[in-house]
C-alpha cells in the first residue's frame, strides 16, 4: 500500500467485486498486481487496469474450481494454447476412432455369424457333388424312329364333347341327302356374348345342337342370338320346340335362317375339330350340319342369318380374329 501513496498518477488498479462490495487496490508494480489476484479467494470478480492510461489489462471471474487465467496484457502463459491444441487433437482422435468402429462393426458381425454357424452342433456342410467326366466327342446311340401317328394325336386338341363331334355322331346310322337346313329354333337373345355362351353350353349339355350368331338390328344395336337345331322343314323345327319344352326352355320360336358363314374350306374331321377349338377360344360357337361328311370332310359353320347383309358384322369379326370365312347357304 506504500506504493499506492507514493505514486498517485500511475500504477495498476485492482478492483474486487465480492457480493456487491467493491474494493480497489493500487499497485505500482505490475507483477504485484497479478500476484494479488492469484492470492484472492474464490467467487470474486476481478479487474486489473493501468492507472495512467485507463487500459483494462484483465477481467476475470474466479470460481472455487479454477484459478485466474491470463488476459491481454498479462504475463505470457503458453499453457492455454497448448491445452486448446491438445483438446483439438483429442477430438480428432475420438472422431477417427468412431469412424473406424462404424466401419469395422459390420465385418465383425459377419465374422461372428459365420463362426457361429460353422461351430453350431447342428451345422452339416453341404455334400460335394461327385465329379463326372463327359466325353464331348462321343455321340449318343440312335433312338427309335418317331411314330407319325403319335404326332397327329398330339396335334388334335381334346374334343369339345358337345360340339361338332357330338352333332355328327347324334344319329350315326342316318344318311341325309338334303343339302340345305334353312329352319332353326330361336331360343334367346342377349346383349352380352358371355351370357349367350352360357346358354349355348347349357343347351349343348342337354343334347341340343345349339350355337350363337351376332347381328346388328337397326334402331336396337348389337345382339347375340342363340339358336337350336338345323332342320329342313318347319315341322322338324316344331318338333325341336317340343323337345326343348321337356328341358324347361319355353320361350322359343321357329325361324328361317338361310345363310351361314363357312370358316375356311371343308376340312378332315381332326382339322375341323382343331378349328372349332380355335374359334371357341375367340368366343365363336361353331357347328356342323347333321349330314354325313362327304369325302370325310366337314364344313365348319358359324352363325345363322336371313340374308348375307345381316351376316356382314359377324364376318368382319371373324376377319379381325384372323379367320377366313364366306357366306354360304345353310
The domain locations on the chain are: 2-70, 157-329
Regarding predicted confidence, which is higher, 301 or 56? Answer: 301
State the pLDDT at residue 41.
Answer: 64
Bridge partners for 325 per DSSP: 263
Distance, C-alpha 95 to centroid of its chain: 44
Per-residue confidence band for 182, with pLDDT thresholds at 50, 70 and 90: very high
280 has pLDDT over 80: yes
Q: What is the mean pLDDT of the chain?
A: 75
Alpha-carbon dihedral of residues 69, 75, 77, 81, nearest 10 degrees? 70
Give 235-249 pLDDT, tens digit per residue.
Answer: 999 999 999 999 999
Report how far Cα 67 is from the mean position of its chain's Cα atoms.
71
Give one word for 188, left, alpha or beta, with left for phi > 0 and alpha for psi -120 to 50: left
Residue 89: the pLDDT is: 77
* pLDDT above 60: residue 18: yes
Rounded to whole angstroms, how far apart are CA atoms 28 and 7?
Answer: 7
Whether 283 shows a pLDDT value over 60: the answer reads yes
Architecture per CATH, domain 157-329, reads as 2-Layer Sandwich (3.30)
User: Between 20 and 262, where is the model more confident?
Assistant: 262
Residue 255 backbone class (left: φ over 0; alpha: ψ -120 to 50; beta: rest): beta
> pLDDT band for position 1 (50/70/90)?
very low
Which has the minimum average pLDDT: 13-27, 206-220, 257-271? 13-27
Q: Which of 122-126, 190-194, 226-230, 257-261 has the lowest mean pLDDT?
A: 122-126
Burial class (CB in 10 A: 0-12, 13-18, 19+), 94: exposed
- Residue-wise pLDDT for 52-111, tens only, equals 665 665 555 555 444 444 444 444 444 555 455 667 777 888 888 878 777 777 776 766
The Cα–Cα gap between 254 and 209 comes to 15
Q: Is the pLDDT of residue 230 over 80?
A: yes
pLDDT for the residue 174: 43
Q: What is the pTM of this model?
A: 0.50
Question: What's the CA gap between 287 and 229, in Å, rounded?
Answer: 10
Contact at 8 Å (CB) between 68 and 62? yes
Model pLDDT, residue 158:
41
SS3 of residue 286 by DSSP:
strand
> In percent, how much of the chain has pLDDT > 90?
36
Q: Which three cell numbers stand for residue 95?
A: 472422431
Q: Are 219 and 240 in contact (CB under 8 A)?
A: no
Please give the full DSSP string across 295-309, using - where no structure is assigned. Answer: TTEE--EEEEESSTG
Q: Cα separation of 212 and 276, whole Å?
A: 14
Least confident of 50-59, 69-78, 221-230, 315-324: 69-78
Integer Cα distance of 110 and 88 in angstroms? 34
Neighbours of 45 (CB within 10 A): 14
Asked if 63 and 46 touch (Cβ cutoff 8 Å), the reply is no
Q: How far apart are CA 116 and CA 61, in angstroms?
A: 60
- pLDDT band of residue 125 (cuts 50, 70, 90) is low
Is the pLDDT assigned to residue 293 strictly greater than 70?
Answer: no
Is the pLDDT at 196 greater than 70? The verdict is yes
Amino acid at each position: 500500500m506504500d506504493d499506492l501513496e507514493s505514486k498517485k498518477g500511475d500504477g495498476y488498479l485492482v478492483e474486487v467485486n465480492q457480493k456487491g462490495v467493491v474494493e480497489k487496490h493500487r499497485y505500482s508494480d505490475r507483477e504485484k498486481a497479478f500476484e494479488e489476484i492469484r492470492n484472492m479467494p474464490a467467487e470474486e470478480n476481478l479487474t486489473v487496469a493501468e492507472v495512467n492510461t485507463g487500459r483494462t489489462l484483465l477481467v476475470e471471474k474466479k470460481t472455487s474450481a479454477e484459478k485466474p487465467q491470463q488476459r491481454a496484457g498479462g504475463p505470457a502463459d503458453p499453457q492455454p494454447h497448448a491445452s486448446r491444441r491438445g483438446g483439438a487433437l483429442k477430438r480428432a482422435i475420438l472422431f477417427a476412432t468412431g469412424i473406424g468402429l462404424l466401419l469395422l462393426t459390420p465385418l465383425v458381425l459377419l465374422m461372428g455369424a459365420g463362426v457361429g454357424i460353422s461351430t453350431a452342433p447342428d451345422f452339416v456342410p453341404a455334400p460335394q457333388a461327385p465329379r463326372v467326366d463327359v466325353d464331348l466327342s462321343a455321340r449318343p446311340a440312335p433312338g427309335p424312329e418317331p411314330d407319325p401317328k403319335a404326332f397327329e394325336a398330339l396335334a388334335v386338341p381334346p374334343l369339345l364333347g358337345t360340339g361338332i363331334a357330338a352333332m355328327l355322331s347324334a344319329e350315326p346310322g342316318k344318311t341325309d341327302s338334303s343339302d340345305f337346313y334353312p329352319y332353326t329354333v330361336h331360343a334367346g337373345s342377349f346383349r352380352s356374348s358371355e351370357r349367350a355362351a352360357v346358354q349355348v353350353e347349357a343347351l349343348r349339355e342337354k343334347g341340343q345342337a345349339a350355337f350363337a350368331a351376332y347381328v346388328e338390328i337397326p334402331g336396337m344395336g348389337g345382339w347375340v342370338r342363340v339358336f337350336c337345331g338345323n332342320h329342313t322343314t318347319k315341322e322338324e323345327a316344331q318338333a325341336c320346340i317340343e323337345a326343348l319344352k321337356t328341358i324347361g326352355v319355353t320361350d322359343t320360336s321357329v325361324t328361317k335362317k338361310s345363310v351361314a358363314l363357312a370358316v375356311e374350306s371343308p376340312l378332315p374331321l381332326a382339322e375341323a375339330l382343331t378349328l372349332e377349338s380355335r374359334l371357341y377360344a375367340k368366343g365363336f360357337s361353331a357347328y356342323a350340319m347333321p349330314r354325313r361328311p362327304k369325302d370325310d370332310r366337314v364344313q365348319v359353320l358359324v352363325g345363322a342369318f336371313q340374308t348375307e347383309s345381316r351376316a356382314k358384322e359377324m364376318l368382319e369379326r371373324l376377319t379381325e380374329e384372323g379367320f377366313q370365312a364366306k357366306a354360304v347357304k345353310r
